[in-house]
């Protein structure tokens, strides 16, 4: 870990040099980091301007000192956590709160402590084990990643960014997070919390964008300590500070180690620009219907006929649309006419179709 100078001492001039670097860094095409569908990484330009070593060290040291006494004790951060355990945590944590992930992550690792263990089972078992974490395609991607790791990497999670990015379901954020947290490498790791923290503290604006550009990667990388271990720790610390203090609606600025030099505070804490995005209610949506259909299939030890699925939602058009969506996504398969199961399951003898076949 980097040295732990006082936040009041280290915060001086933290943001000024970093902001200067951000102002002259070349803009680049945005790279999607939507949590449900990660995208490929954009290369970091080698010629990006960076803040001086003092500014970078001051920013990271202030956050690292805070992190040393305020970090949550999460099992995937423990030294004994395997790269596979870290990868599972990163996939599960996409758009899902930590308190919901903790029991699911532990149960998953208890059953499948290595990629080869998961790869040996049908994909439907991953969907079943996923339970109600939401966005269940992540379960399929984890199963596909486990198969790829087993078949192409001798059962070991690859330790370089290029090969991580080739795994199914692994995009910019996840690949960099695994490289940093599992293999202690120096990479910029940007989730919504890091984007918000750096956007406020360095750039003086409340950044609500959902895409990451090469300029973003260059700026965050410039704030990391130079040695890999400290950089990996700083990546976790930036994320934690954004998650616990520099939150979206009611930031706890008085407790923040960057409060004295935060560009956003100095600018009067301006409100975020309206991105036009609106949070969709869950009740009554196709997502809710999909969840109800999947719940029936997860809880059944045998494939399920159509007439049973018809009982979970009264509106037939929406129910049919949701079922077809699950079939298209590979989360459900038809094992006989009008009989459905999770992927990898077969029709059991005696399971009737609605037509009586």
Q: Catalytic amino acids? A: 90
Q: Which residues pair with 341 in a beta bridge?
A: 333
The string of DSSP letters for 152-212 reads HSTTS---SHHHHHTSTT--HHHHHHHHHHTT--------HHHHHHHHHHTTSS----SEE
d(CA 172, CA 32): 8
Displacement of CA 293 from its chain's centroid (Å)? 25
Where do the H-state alpha helices sit in the chain? 7-10, 14-24, 53-70, 83-92, 98-111, 115-119, 123-130, 137-152, 161-165, 172-181, 192-201, 214-222, 228-244, 263-266, 286-299, 306-309, 316-328
In the chain, the N- to C-terminal Cα span, in Å, equals 66
Q: Which of 18, 126, 5 is nearest to 62 (CA)?
A: 5
Region label for 276, one of left (φ > 0), alpha (ψ between -120 and 50) or beta (otherwise): left
Helix axes 228-244, 192-201, angle to 10 degrees: 90
Do the beta carbons of residue 196 and residue 246 sit within 8 Å?
yes
The set of residues, in sequence order, having a beta carbon less than 8 Å from that of 160 and lying 6+ positions away, is 179
Do the beta carbons of residue 237 and residue 69 sit within 8 Å?
no
d(CA 295, CA 311): 12
Torsion of CA 271, 277, 278, 280, to 10 degrees: -140
Length of the chain: 357
């Amino acid at each position: 870990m980097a040295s732990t100078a006082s936040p009041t001492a280290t915060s001086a001039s933290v943001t000024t040099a970093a902001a200067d670097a951000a102002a002259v860094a070349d803009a680049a095409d945005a790279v999607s980091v939507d949590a449900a569908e990660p995208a490929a990484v954009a290369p970091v330009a080698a010629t990006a301007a960076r803040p001086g070593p003092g500014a970078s060290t001051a920013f990271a040291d202030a956050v690292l000192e805070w992190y040393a006494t305020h970090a949550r004790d999460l099992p995937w951060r423990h030294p004994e956590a395997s790269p596979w355990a870290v990868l599972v945590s990163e996939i599960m944590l996409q758009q899902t709160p930590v308190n919901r992930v903790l029991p699911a992550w532990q149960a998953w690792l208890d059953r499948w402590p290595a990629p080869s263990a998961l790869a040996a089972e049908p994909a439907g078992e991953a969907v079943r084990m996923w339970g109600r974490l939401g966005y269940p395609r992540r379960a399929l991607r984890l199963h596909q990643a486990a198969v790829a790791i087993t078949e192409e990497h001798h059962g070991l999670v690859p330790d370089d960014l290029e090969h991580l990015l080739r795994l199914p379901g692994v995009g910019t954020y996840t690949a960099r997070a695994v490289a940093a947290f599992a293999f202690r490498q120096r990479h910029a790791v940007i989730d919504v919390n890091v984007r918000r923290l750096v956007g406020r503290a360095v750039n003086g604006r409340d950044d609500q964008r959902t895409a990451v550009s090469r300029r973003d990667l260059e700026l965050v990388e410039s704030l990391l300590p130079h040695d890999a271990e400290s950089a990996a720790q700083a990546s976790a610390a930036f994320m934690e500070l954004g998650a616990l203090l520099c939150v979206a609606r009611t930031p706890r600025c008085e407790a923040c180690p960057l409060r004295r030099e935060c560009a956003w505070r100095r600018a009067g804490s301006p409100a975020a620009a309206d991105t036009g995005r609106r949070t969709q209610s869950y009740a009554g949506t196709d997502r809710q219907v999909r969840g109800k259909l999947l719940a029936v299939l997860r809880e059944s030890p045998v494939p399920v006929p159509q007439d049973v699925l018809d009982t979970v939602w009264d509106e037939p058009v929406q129910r049919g649309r949701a079922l077809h969506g699950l079939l298209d996504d590979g989360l459900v398969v038809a094992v006989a006419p009008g009989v459905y199961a999770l992927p990898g399951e077969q029709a059991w003898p005696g399971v009737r179709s609605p037509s009586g076949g």
